[in-house]
Amino acid sequence: MTSTTTTEIDASIPTDLDSARAKLVYLYLAAGGSATAEELCDDLAVSKGTVLSITGTLRDRGYLERRDGQFELA
pTM higher than 0.85: no
What is the span of the domain harbouring residue 50? 20-73
Burial of 26 (C-beta count, 10 Å sphere; 0-12/13-18/19+): buried
2 in any annotated domain: no
CATH number at residue 32: 1.10.10.10
pLDDT digits (tens, 9 = 90+) for 31-47: 988 999 999 999 999 99
In a domain, 38, yes or no: yes
> Is there a domain that residue 15 lies in?
no
Buried b (16+ CB within 10 A) or exposed e, 36-48: eeeebbeebebee
In the chain, the number of structural domains is 1
Residue type, 40: L
**CA pseudo-torsion sign 16, 64, 31, 7:** negative
Tens of pLDDT along 7-65? 565 568 999 999 999 999 999 999 988 999 999 999 999 999 999 999 999 999 999 99
Please indicate, yes or no, if residue 3 is contained in any of the structural domains.
no
